[in-house]
Amino acid sequence: MTQNTGALAGVKVVDLSRVLAGPYATQILGDHGADVIKVEPPMGDETREWGPPFRDDKGARGPSSYYLNINRNKRGIALDLTKPEAREVVLRLLQDADILIENFKIGTMERWGMSYETLSQRFPKLIYCRISGFGSDGPLGGMPGYDAVLQAMTGLASATGSPGSGPVKLGVPMVDMTTGLNSVIGILLALQERHRSGRGQFLEVALYDAGISILHPHSGNWLWGERIPKLIGNAHPNLAPYDLFQTKTRPIFLGVGNDAQFRKAMTLLGCPELIDDPRFRNNAGRNANRLELTKILAAIFAKLDGLEMATKFLEAGVPAGPLNQVNEVMTDPQTKARGMVVAKDGYKGVASPIKMGRTKQSLRTTPPDFGSDNDAVLKEAGYSDTDIAKLKASGAVLTAMRS
């Protein structure tokens, strides 16, 4: 096995979550050294079947690329938590665990006798992270939530799209992934505070809250100016020029963030007269006159080579880049240089973007097959071979997914 050099080596995580936000969070913890035990329900993590593509030719039990992309560096155990014996297994695992993470419907863990209040009495150092759709309180408290629904409800979709398209959701599950990232942040905050107090604590990260947290700059624009976002395609509501432009070869994005960058960009584009144009002299003016500026620049860009101009902009210190397809991103020399694709035993995945100086991330285990680590995890928890056989016979521990 690859050496564990991560900053979280020695930290144990019991992961009861499924789908995206929770598994993404625990993969981050696992990449950086935590021992993550993924506990799956009898029918498995739903995302095992979210394909094609699948890992092999076993059909929807493959598992899917979706599952594989967010479940490495974990050990897998399968439990039917409706059975008391299975819940006792979780309690055994928690005896030396630092973190529990779950995303069941609110009230489920309480019904099983595993609320934070109950667990904290037995495991006072435990950090309990709950992921939910809307949190436990408020008019929508306890309601279920999925990423696209929350993109609509938190205003993200209202700020995405063009007049022609109308509001659209983002092309990636940003709310789920932001929820996962905030879960990791909360867990690390709790670990840090535990060094002082010696006590764990409960934390909750709701998709609704996470969606609102990334509504920048539109949330601020409304709070300070009651401005409602307009559908402006790839443009920026507060900056100009900050947009995608079609060239004679391929689209490139030009992102001008200050007046100095504007001067450099206009010089490179061969239109220095725009630098002193009263309409475009500062960002406020460029923003107010964005339609005129965009029309002028679009005509200039249409005659240029996209990749060539993007390179010139970058070399001059002006943020710009080509519109790449996913295949181009994953095979780009910069992606390779940054080590952003990891591989092991036929597995391929996107690496953690966090580059630590001493405590390096590592790919130690590939995503677990259903229940693949049942015996090893149970034996570590003190179960004998006879005990394990009984748990399997009772259906509390599963070796194959139920349909």
What does the pLDDT look like over 98-139, one tens digit per residue?
A: 999 999 999 999 999 999 999 999 999 999 999 999 999 999
Residues 121 and 183 in one domain: yes
Sorting pLDDT into bands at 50, 70 and 90, what band is 403? confident
Residues 207 and 166 in one domain: yes
Residues 261 and 116 in one domain: no
Residues 145 and 173 in one domain: yes
Amino acid 27: pLDDT: 98
Sorting pLDDT into bands at 50, 70 and 90, what band is 56? confident
The phi-psi region of residue 313 (left if phi > 0; otherwise alpha if psi is between -120 and 50; otherwise beta) is: alpha
Residues 262 and 380 in one domain: no
Does residue 229 belong to any structural domain of this protein?
A: no
Does residue 56 belong to any structural domain of this protein?
A: yes
Amino acid 1: pLDDT: 66
Q: Is 60 exceeded by the pLDDT of residue 59?
A: no
Q: How far apart are CA 388 and CA 200, in angstroms?
A: 30
Mean pLDDT within 332-336: 94
Which of 289, 322, 355 delimits the end of a domain?
Answer: 322
Mean pLDDT within 199-227: 96
Number of domains observed in the structure of the chain: 2
Residues 36 and 146 in one domain: yes
Does residue 228 belong to any structural domain of this protein?
A: no
Does residue 232 belong to any structural domain of this protein?
A: no
Residues 23 and 166 in one domain: yes
Q: CB–CB of 304/310 below 8 Å?
A: no
Does residue 81 belong to any structural domain of this protein?
A: yes
Q: Is 90 exceeded by the pLDDT of residue 385?
A: yes
CATH number at residue 309: 3.30.1540.10
Amino acid 60: pLDDT: 52
Active-site residues, by number, are: 176
Q: Percentage of the chain surpassing pLDDT 70?
A: 99
Mean pLDDT within 137-151: 92
Residues 35 and 147 in one domain: yes
Amino acid 290: pLDDT: 94
Does residue 223 belong to any structural domain of this protein?
A: no
Which domain does 60 fall in, by range? Answer: 12-214+337-394
Residues 345 and 299 in one domain: no
Residues 317 and 382 in one domain: no
Residues 262 and 175 in one domain: no
Q: Is 90 exceeded by the pLDDT of residue 52?
A: no
CATH number at residue 380: 3.40.50.10540
Return mean pLDDT, the chain. 95
